[in-house]
Amino acid sequence: MFFCFVLAAQLCFAQKFYSIESEPGENCSNEIRISWATDTTTADSWVVYSKVSDRDWRGSSSIAAQESYRCDSYNGIWSDNEKGEPFYENVIFTKCGTSLTGLKPDTEYKYYITDGTDRSSEHRFKTAGAKEWSACIISDFHSYPPLASRLDHAMNMVNTVKFYDPSVSWILSPGDVVAYGGSYSFWKRLFEENNFSRFMWARVNGNHDNWTKRTVMDKSFEMPNRFFMGTSYVPRNGYGPEVGRSYWFRYGDAMFVMMNTEAMHFEEGFIPAKEWLEKVVTEARAGKDAPRYVVVCMHYEWFVGTSGKTSQYGRWHEVFDKLGVDLAVAGNNHVYVRTHPLYGDQVTDGSKGTVYVVTSSSDNGRGRKFQDAPMLNPDKIVFRWTEGSHTVSAIHMNVNRKRIKLTLLDREGNVVDACEVPSKKR
Ligand SMILES: [Fe+2]
């Protein structure tokens, strides 16, 4: 009886604080940011955190929400419930975010959200600072509650990567984590997953994350990018209207620049994005603690995996050459693609140039077959991979001073592809 009461109370707590996610701070060695939501009836909420080694929380600290506003971005949006029945989501909540600073490098932390009366379940993250570290790269699982297996496949894939390397400490995602970003119930369900409790996630905005069920049916894709903001609290070091959507952060020796491709469909959006990328990478390269590696991550693919056709590579490769971008990560096409290192539109020996990688889908439902024609750009593309519509994979990323090593794993944990991106820093 007592047990039932406790269980019921915990479920009640889980409802009060939700959509909890840890995200990168500008320097992940000492800053991690937390995004969460709570009901509008909750007057105030904050984060309590401590090192995992602090068993009784005696050394814990509290930090207030830096961002707290009434969010109605998802209210009244046409959606689907878990049975696949159409409905309008009535959802207004208080969106919160804060930044934990002064953290110890290479340390595991735990935290919860509270209003002084109730508290959320415990969540964790690990700060950067280890000389060698690993992450999981996964995208395009289009979480859609009426087809719950999509999320199951993706989360099982994360578990597979964690089994392959238990030191994996965070997730890099080139986007499309939900089917319709305007459906708040999809996000809420997503963040209930254990892999959002135990890992920091660095996401970019994918087209699905930016859409609603209505935009897909009407093909009216010109939407404001408000859904990413309502589910995240990334560093505010972006540019103009993309502050809070495009951002950069350091994880150890690597600088990650995370870009919102939804803002770059046209030249007037591409130019400020390019100028911002040039500015932040050039400043970092000239700074005191210059990054060993620069990684650019965005949603739309560099090359179309089904055909090998040039896509975003065409508009970015000269910029990446100029900035010495080591690795470019994208998703969207649902077929895995990896190129040779490329510089000046030519294959190099790896001493300079960028390796372009496109993730596959990971939901076992939205993969694609290769086109029945010779692959385009065979000189540039080393390897591509798909399982057809039922595709699931993720990339294990391991980084040390000598190289970035990428290993493509299938759902069974089999190595499908591997490559190394050597450090160009002496
Ligand atoms: Fe996708």
Q: What is the pLDDT of residue 223?
A: 63
Q: What is the pLDDT of residue 3?
A: 38
Tokens of 279: 């500015």
Tokens of 6: 């406790």
Residue 93 domain-assigned? no
Cβ-proximal residues to 366 (8 Å cutoff; 6+ apart), any chain: 140, 142, 150, 334, 389, 391
Whole-model pTM: value is 0.95
Tokens of 90: 């009535």
In the three-class reduction of DSSP (H, G, I as helix; E, B as strand; rest coil), residue 140 is classed as coil
Q: What is the pLDDT of residue 15?
A: 81
Q: What DSSP letter does each residue of 75-103 carry, written as one string?
A: TTEEEE-TTS-EEEE---EEEEEEEE-SP
Percentage of residues of the chain with pLDDT beyond 90: 92
Reply yes or no on whether the pLDDT at 5 is more than 60. no
Whole-number Å distance, alpha carbon 56 to ligand 1 midpoint, is: 43
Whole-number Å distance, alpha carbon 111 to ligand 1 midpoint, is: 31
Segment 154-182 shows an average pLDDT of: 97
Whole-number Å distance, alpha carbon 80 to ligand 1 midpoint, is: 19
Please state, in angstroms and rounded to a whole number, the distance separating the CA atoms of residues 381 and 300: 17
Domain that holds residue 371: 126-422
Type of residue numbered 129: G
Whole-number Å distance, alpha carbon 363 to ligand 1 midpoint, is: 10
Whole-number Å distance, alpha carbon 364 to ligand 1 midpoint, is: 12
Please state, in angstroms and rounded to a whole number, the distance separating the CA atoms of residues 19 and 26: 21
Whole-number Å distance, alpha carbon 421 to ligand 1 midpoint, is: 26
Residue 33 domain-assigned? no
35, 258 Cβ separation under 8 angstroms:
no
For residue 222, the tally of other CB atoms under 10 A from its CB is: 7
Of 414, 368, 416, which Cα lies nearest the Cα of 391?
368
Whole-number Å distance, alpha carbon 299 to ligand 1 midpoint, is: 9
Q: Which residues on adjacent β-strands are paired with residue 70?
A: 94
Whole-number Å distance, alpha carbon 332 to ligand 1 midpoint, is: 4
Please state, in angstroms and rounded to a whole number, the distance separating the CA atoms of residues 103 and 105: 6
Reply yes or no on whether the pLDDT at 4 is more than 70. no
Whole-number Å distance, alpha carbon 317 to ligand 1 midpoint, is: 23
Reply yes or no on whether the pLDDT at 12 is more than 50. no
Whole-number Å distance, alpha carbon 273 to ligand 1 midpoint, is: 22
Q: What is the pLDDT of residue 65?
A: 98
Reply yes or no on whether the pLDDT at 13 is more than 70. no
**pLDDT per position as a tens digit, 181-240:** 999 999 999 999 999 999 999 999 999 999 998 887 776 666 667 899 999 999 999 999
Whole-number Å distance, alpha carbon 406 to ligand 1 midpoint, is: 21
Residue 41 domain-assigned? no
DSSP H or E run through 322: helix 313-323
Query: DSSP character for 159?
Result: H
Of 164, 147, 101, 148, which Cα lies nearest the Cα of 127?
101
Residue 173 domain-assigned? yes
Tokens of 244: 């809070």
Q: What is the pLDDT of residue 7?
A: 39
Q: What is each CA distance from 48 to 99, 115, 316, in whole angstroms?
A: 12, 10, 42
Q: What is the dihedral of CA 384, 347, 395, 208, to 10 degrees?
A: -70
58, 32 Cβ separation under 8 angstroms:
no
Residue 5 domain-assigned? no
Percentage of residues of the chain with pLDDT beyond 70: 95
Type of residue numbered 280: V
Residue 189 domain-assigned? yes
Whole-number Å distance, alpha carbon 27 to ligand 1 midpoint, is: 29
Please state, in angstroms and rounded to a whole number, the distance separating the CA atoms of residues 203 and 192: 17
Please state, in angstroms and rounded to a whole number, the distance separating the CA atoms of residues 362 and 141: 5
Whole-number Å distance, alpha carbon 142 to ligand 1 midpoint, is: 7
Q: Which residues on adjacent β-strands are paired with residue 383?
A: 338
Whole-number Å distance, alpha carbon 301 to ligand 1 midpoint, is: 10
Whole-number Å distance, alpha carbon 360 to ligand 1 midpoint, is: 9
Whole-number Å distance, alpha carbon 127 to ligand 1 midpoint, is: 29
End-to-end CA distance of the chain: 65
Q: What is the pLDDT of residue 61?
A: 98
DSSP H or E run through 23: strand 17-24
**pLDDT per position as a tens digit, 38-93:** 999 999 999 999 999 999 999 999 999 999 999 999 999 999 999 999 999 999 99
Whole-number Å distance, alpha carbon 181 to ligand 1 midpoint, is: 12
From the CA atom positions of the chain, what is the Rg in Å? Answer: 21
Whole-number Å distance, alpha carbon 300 to ligand 1 midpoint, is: 9
Please state, in angstroms and rounded to a whole number, the distance separating the CA atoms of residues 123 and 19: 12
Please state, in angstroms and rounded to a whole number, the distance separating the CA atoms of residues 389 and 262: 25
Whole-number Å distance, alpha carbon 367 to ligand 1 midpoint, is: 9
Tokens of 124: 């964790």
**pLDDT per position as a tens digit, 96-111:** 999 999 999 999 999 9
Q: What is the pLDDT of residue 221?
A: 63
Whole-number Å distance, alpha carbon 208 to ligand 1 midpoint, is: 7
Whole-number Å distance, alpha carbon 287 to ligand 1 midpoint, is: 36
Whole-number Å distance, alpha carbon 176 to ligand 1 midpoint, is: 5
Q: What is the pLDDT of residue 8?
A: 38
Determine phi and psi for 166, rounding to 5 degrees: -60, -10
**pLDDT per position as a tens digit, 20-39:** 999 999 999 999 999 999 99
Q: What is the pLDDT of residue 224?
A: 62
Whole-number Å distance, alpha carbon 270 to ligand 1 midpoint, is: 21
Whole-number Å distance, alpha carbon 197 to ligand 1 midpoint, is: 23
Whole-number Å distance, alpha carbon 191 to ligand 1 midpoint, is: 19
Q: State the chain's mean pLDDT as an integer.
A: 94
Query: DSSP character for 241?
Result: G
Domains in the chain, number: 1
Q: Which residues on adjacent β-strands are paired with residue 73?
A: none
Whole-number Å distance, alpha carbon 177 to ligand 1 midpoint, is: 8
Q: What is the pLDDT of residue 214?
A: 85
Reply yes or no on whether the pLDDT at 327 is more than 60. yes
Whole-number Å distance, alpha carbon 174 to ligand 1 midpoint, is: 9
Residue 49 domain-assigned? no
List the CATH number of the domain containing 156: 3.60.21.10
Residue 215 domain-assigned? yes
- Nearest 5 degrees, angle CA 43-CA 44-CA 50? 155
Place of tokens 């392959």: 164
Whole-number Å distance, alpha carbon 291 to ligand 1 midpoint, is: 30
Segment 258-284 shows an average pLDDT of: 96
